[in-house]
Amino acid sequence: MSSHRKNLKNRLNIFFRVDASETIGGGHFFRCISIAVALKKRGHLCSFICQEMNNNFLSILEYHSFELIFLPKNSLMSDKDQLKEASYLTEKIKMNKIHIDVLFVDVYKINAVWEEKIKTSTDKLFAIDDLANRGHYVDYIIDQNAGRTEADYKLHNLNHGKILSGTRFAIINQDISNFRDKALRTRKKINNQNILINFGSSNHESLYSQFIKSLISTGDMQGKSISLLSFKKTSREFKDLLDSFKVRLLTSLSPIELAKLYISSDFCIGAGGVSALERCCLGLPSGVVCIAENQYPGSAELEKKGCVKLLNNFPDLTVNIEIVINLLDDDSQLKELSVNSFNEVDGDGLKRILSEVEIA
């Protein structure tokens, strides 16, 4: 890893500590990529620090020419483990004479022990969190979940950092938020013809199969089209099932292609987390299936605000298909979901975060 130095006025050297894999999923990774790409466009240097990174995610880093530091495997389960990784990283930073202006940490296992150790090696430290269940020793805490407030981190904010909370700070990729004006025009007319199923980087073929069968057998799908977006390699059996039900399979879309797909879709069944906020930003009415514990609080709050409909009782992944059928038959409900979504997520959260990064 070659050291980066500020060689242009106001150019910052920014690092992201994040992991991504089949087990962890890609939500953490994609929100860090959204921040990094936006910072790179503003002339800053961005690099990633990871324990785990599969080939799909590695290819994205390579595409954007982001450098990567690999860390040794570490469970991070104890304070001793936290110190071990943080000490290894601080020593590597020192040996390679790497100057870090800003470090973003987006790993649920990392806590204040790790952060306090690394704090001496960076000018500004951000923690991205969703859980509000552990101590942080940072300058900023970002929690983009709907309903999240500063008070939720009162006991966890050990360095008295600034709290950036709620959907005002939703980390929406700029290539997606740039389509917001077009989405506002498109959603003036509500349709129910084009249905999208999107669970991002999670691989739940059995779940997909379950509700595709239920949707087609229970609902009136005549004249409607169903598309499924998957970032994972799909099995032959699953492809055959999709073909038999005439479901279009889409893979590996860029953020711009994803935004266009959201705009051309009338209703989406999808996961919570970052993708739910992206759909809100573009006013796409959606039903949310929570597939991980961390997705539930924010998704439940979005439902309370009238932005989405929850389709399962987590941890049960069984989809309540009747909710979908009723929604598709009710234009007024679809319109209400769209309007409330637009009002909740304005698409400027990333800009607000960038301004905090660049404050001297």
| pLDDT, tens digit (0-9, with 9 covering 90-100), for 216-249 | 888 778 889 999 998 777 889 989 999 999 999 9
Q: What is the pLDDT of residue 5?
A: 40
What residues of the chain score a pLDDT lower than 50? Answer: 1-7
Q: What is the pLDDT of residue 291?
A: 83
Q: What is the pLDDT of residue 9?
A: 60
Q: What is the pLDDT of residue 201?
A: 66
Residue 352, number of CB atoms within 10 A of its CB? 14
**Where in the chain are all domains bearing CATH 3.40.50.11190?**
13-172+348-357
Backbone angles phi, psi at 229, to 5 degrees: -105, 125
162 Cβ contact list (under 8 Å, min separation 6): 139, 140, 141, 356
Structural fold of domain 175-344:
Rossmann fold (3.40.50)
Amino acid at 308: V
**Where in the chain are all domains bearing CATH 3.40.50.2000?**
175-344
| pLDDT, tens digit (0-9, with 9 covering 90-100), for 178-216 | 999 999 999 999 999 999 998 776 667 888 888 888 888
Q: What is the pLDDT of residue 6?
A: 41
Q: Right CATH number for 13-172+348-357 from 3.40.50.300, 3.40.50.11190, 3.50.50.60, 3.40.50.10950?
A: 3.40.50.11190
Alpha carbon distances (Å) from 220 to 151, 178, 229, 327, 356: 46, 34, 22, 12, 49
β strands within 37-82, DSSP E: 45-50, 67-70
360 Cβ contact list (under 8 Å, min separation 6): none
β strands within 37-117, DSSP E: 45-50, 67-70, 100-106
> Which 8-state DSSP code applies to residue 157?
B
